[in-house]
Amino acid sequence: MSKRQMAVALALLALGACSSARDGETNLRNLNTYRGSPEEFGIVPNKPLADPPSFSQLPAPTTGTGNRADVTPLADAVAALGGDPSRLAERGIPTSDAALVAAAGRNGVDGSIRQDLAAADAAFRRRASIFNWKLVPDNEYNRAYRRQSLDAQDWLARVRQPGTNIRTPSAPPPRN
């Protein structure tokens, strides 16, 4: 191997080592748009502080719950339009979906499915990013997951064929 080839190989190795991934994590999306100035739409003022009716009857702090001064734009909008913001709270599975949940879990439920899928996806991203370096960072998410995506128009054409008894009342417009 000549000195020139060795220099090129070392330069490529050095460029390959310049990675922004942490702890074996492979990030396929490059969404970093920080340009040194604050994001004007990311700055949201808190609600004004207010004294409670009684300082002796304050509830004990609970980890993971919200603060009374935290901004709740969706609940505030519902209240401003005359609705009940408490109906936005998560209440678990509605009774109307109980039969669907029972049918989905009829063969058992794997309690570690999220961890298994996260590990499998991390391994997939590592494999997809082996020869995926560029001088200019780019969003590689759609290219990496291209084989796992569905073409909506193709499936719409398949289910609308004569002989299929699948109702399709509406569909998204085709992309140009």
- The ranges of the chain with pLDDT < 50 are 23-24
pLDDT of residue 58: 82
pLDDT of residue 152: 81
pLDDT of residue 30: 60
pLDDT of residue 136: 66
Residues of 46-67 as b/e, b for ≥16 C-beta within 10 angstroms? eeeeeeeeeeeeeeeeeeeeee
Q: Which amino acid, residue 25?
A: E
pLDDT of residue 115: 94
pLDDT of residue 78: 94
pLDDT of residue 81: 95
pTM (two decimals): 0.42
Q: Are 47 and 68 in contact (CB under 8 A)?
A: yes
- Which residue, 57, 26, 58, is CA-closest to 124? 26
pLDDT of residue 138: 65
